[in-house]
Structures are given as C-alpha cells and as structure tokens.
Amino acid sequence: MANARAQAVAELVRRLGHGFKDARLLDRALTHSSVGEGVAPQTSSAPRDNERLEFLGDRVLGLLVAERLHNDFPEADEGQLSSRLHALVDKHACGRVGAALGIGEAVRLSPGETKSGGRRKEGVIADAVEAVLAAVYLDGGIDAARNVFEIAWAEELAKPPERSLTNPKSALQEWSQGQGRPLPTYEIANRTGSDHAPTFTVAVTVEGLEPLTAQGRSRQDAEKAAAMAMLKREGVI
C-alpha cells in the first residue's frame, strides 16, 4: 500500500508539472487531519496535517481565478465575474480538479478514514487540492502556483459559463411567490471541517417541492448554491 501511494504521489507531481524543492511541503499538503487523531498535538510525533495549507490555498486559488477572469473578460461586470469565480473555486470544482489529478490515491489518511471511502470523498479531495496549491506557492512563489493552476484548472476554465444569477436567493423567492407559494426556507443540515475552513450543507425547502441540499464554504454560500440548484432543477433557469 505504501508503494502504491508513493507511485500516486510521483504521478501527481508529474501531472502538476512542478518539482518540489521542499518535498515536506507536498507531504504535509497530502496529510489529512484524520492521521493525527488520538495523538496529542504537543508531542513531537503529532503529524502536521494540511488544514493550514488548505486555508492559504483557498486564498491563492481565489487570487489566481480573479486574475484570470479579469484578463479574459474585460467587458464583464463585477456580478458576472463573481458568479464565474464562485463556480471555479467551489468545492465541486476543486473536487473535479483533484479527481483528474489523482489526488485521492496520493492523500495520507487514517485507516478509519480510508475504510470509510475517504479517498473518494469530494471534501477530502477538494481540501487537498487547495493545500497542494498552497504548497506549490510556498515552494516556488506565485508564478509556480499560476503554472499549476493553468494546468490543473484547464478543463474547468474551458467550460462555457453556466447560466447564473447574481442573487439566486432573491430569484428563488420571487419565483416561489409568483407560484403562490410561501417564501423558501433554509436550514443548516450539516457542518464539517475545521473552524477556519468549514463546509456547510444547507437544505432549501419550497412548499410543495422536494427539498434540496447544497454545500458552501459559508452558510451564505451554501444557501446561494441551494437556491441556484433549486432554480435549475425546477427549470426556472
């Protein structure tokens, strides 16, 4: 199993196109927090997981996406840019990027997390993608991170923008009222992740319709994603 993971890490490095000067950064980026379960943080044997790198990588990714969109769409307004940015940095996009890179097989997990299918969990993969991007940034600077971003996000960037809305919650509210239904309601169904990088799962309910859930990095983002998903499912957009 160790050899299989080592091969997966080597293949990941090849796909990233970045040779690490400090391999410890990549190792840390690929270490899930479950590895340290049961180990006191003050002991020297406690592994350093990827949560801090994930925090940094989220910001690096946001900058790189904003820069790319600013250059590619000079006529777009702020709302259009924000909508496109959200689609490129959300957990689903990061999960797809990580799956294409094969990050799931390269991540270091606890035995329990491995048994529960951690290598296929979108959240685990997406978090590791951001952590790896941060590791590249720390190892080689913003130009190195930009090069990896251009490679890893090429498929996502090539997709035509989905029909979107600046304020999907308002759009869902207007549609719901237009149908003679009460206002939509939102409820947090789950919250996972660390305090500095949580993932919220929110359920949106419109009377007479099947409830729907969506995820986001904040409650507000999750509510917007749920509203957007509801509008798409019902054929409004």
Among 101, 87, 159, 157, residue whose Cα is nearest residue 129? 101
Q: CA-CA-CA-CA torsion for 20, 25, 29, 32, nearest 10 degrees?
A: 130
How far apart CA 210 and CA 233 sit, in angstroms, is 10
Is residue 122 part of the annotated active site? The answer reads no
Is residue 150 part of the annotated active site? The answer reads no
Taking a C-beta distance cutoff of 8 angstroms, is the pair 53, 135 a contact?
yes
Which candidate in 54, 113, 127, 130 is catalytic?
A: 130
Taking a C-beta distance cutoff of 8 angstroms, is the pair 208, 149 a contact?
no
Which candidate in 49, 51, 54, 58 is catalytic?
A: 58
Q: What is the number of residues in the chain?
A: 237
Residue-by-residue DSSP string for 105-160 = HH-B--HHHHHTTGGG-HHHHHHHHHHHHHHHHHHHHHHHHHHHHHHHTHHHHHSP
Give the residue numbers marked as catalytic.
Answer: 58, 130
